[in-house]
Structure 1
Amino acid sequence: MEKNNPKGFLYLLPAFLFLGFFLVYPLIDVFVYSFQENYNFASQTYTGVGLYNYAYVLHDPYFLQALKNTFLLVLITVPLSTGLALLISLCLSSIQKLRELFQTIFFLPYVTNTLAVGLVFMILFRKTAYSDGFVNLILNALGFASVDFLSGPYWAKMLVLCLYTVWIVMPFKILILTSALASVDQTYRNAARVDGASKGRIFWRITLPMISPSLFYLVITGFIGAFKAYSDAVALFGTDLNAAGMNTIVGYVYDMLYGNAGGYPSYASAAAILLFAIVLTITCINLLVSKKHVHYV
């Protein structure tokens, strides 16, 4: 067999061209724009080159608020959704009858439009002139006061956003983890039971290590997806996220390009590069951690 067959590179050439044109070139372009001060798309001109765009973005209160919102969303939703998905997957794996039916039910939110799900959440949590919302009705029945979840205190709005995000991403995680649990070789579990190992020990010592690659994949994609969150917030709080105090980094980039504060591609590029650096750093940290805790069979 030939080790250096040029035909292989020819087969890969379309993919390289596609990735280069739609991924690598735009990334380089944005990186260049981030250093060009007062860049104008129409005239293709700028007034200088330097770090001013980064300094402006890092001191912009709207960006700092978006950064805070995004980090809170990541730190809350990624562990919570992954843990709940693992728990539900374990329960589904122990059910023999109607397992496929329950898997389909749990997967339905994933194929539903995010804006449609956001509309349902608005109906559940929004206070109107005629009703305080279904959730507030339950709180009132339990003896608690009504809360304006979508226009009230910051913690209430963040709670709804986190619940919405978990609801959206959890079905996919359940599907992946259910498949991973089904692929675990039962021989190891049976041998552990013969040796008198408890169910908890079997899970921690056998099941969890064997599904760790799937868990690691979900954590990585969960972090990346949460950092790119934008449509979730729009579905709940509308397009003026700065006024609601619930903007995200991606929303900030969009606003700088097309929103009410639009027309500032230099600032948008700087914010996008900062987001790229944050995601890249966290991904590298996860890769380093995975070397010790992820076991590939």
Structure 2
Amino acid sequence: MTKLVAAVFDWAGTLVDFGSRAPMGAFVEVFRRFGVEISIQEARAPMGRAKRDHIATILTQPRIAELWQQQHDKMADDAAIDAIYDMFIPLNTKSAIAHSDAIPGAAATLAALREQGLKIGSTTGYTRAIMEGVLPLARKQGITVDNLVCAGETPAGRPSPLNMYQTFLDLDVWPAAQIVKIDDTPVGIAEGINAGCWTVGVTLSGNETGLSLEELSTLPPAQTDALRAQAGKNLRAEGAHYLIDSVADLLPVMDDISHRLATGEQPNRPVA
């Protein structure tokens, strides 16, 4: 019988850091130090990419590119991106540690998947240095994984499938159709789609909504519904097969995927 063999998770906004808030303050602060004011929304736009790629993508936004040129008398080049990145990493490391609380239900979900015989993989846009600060704190909260692929550890990051391919090797799992990728960013969903996996987009706990659990809990239902719908639209646009509010809602989706696999279905890219 064909069955699922692994679930591969993103980290910030999916397993820890409700709202994926850790990188945002670091991005805003590092650009401020270079004389360029950016908004949280502008910082969020490329989320999910490796952080150097993320910085480079921020700098392509027309308003920011113009501000950079005004401040530095030239367009941002590779040397500028490297300088921002070098200053960003320690800021993001500190912020990631401060925002390492597990998302409610994450530990129980991982435990349930392991009881079903699945291996637990993970990929992230964070570097290994950042994750070395996060992993021990996550472990204390019951968040453990069987592998971790970080930014810069494969020749190309998201949305390429190479991080996923490395995960397949690390976990000794295949085929891709028996693996599920769970992520809160469009580029992370694209990573799973490009690898040939089932994909589950996380709407409310992740980057696309960008609010803490406390902030989200104060909203009227209509506003929460609107945020969920917009996040879902963005994730569906990259091919998400399923949408959930948070990882706490994952298990029924995994059951449905298992049923579809048993009937011979494959994770073809959904029609928008």
Q: State the TM-score, normalized to the length of structure 2.
A: 0.23
The structure with the largest alpha-carbon Rg is 1
Question: Which structure carries more strand by proportion?
Answer: 2
Q: State the TM-score, normalized to the length of structure 1.
A: 0.22
Question: Which structure carries more helix by proportion?
Answer: 1
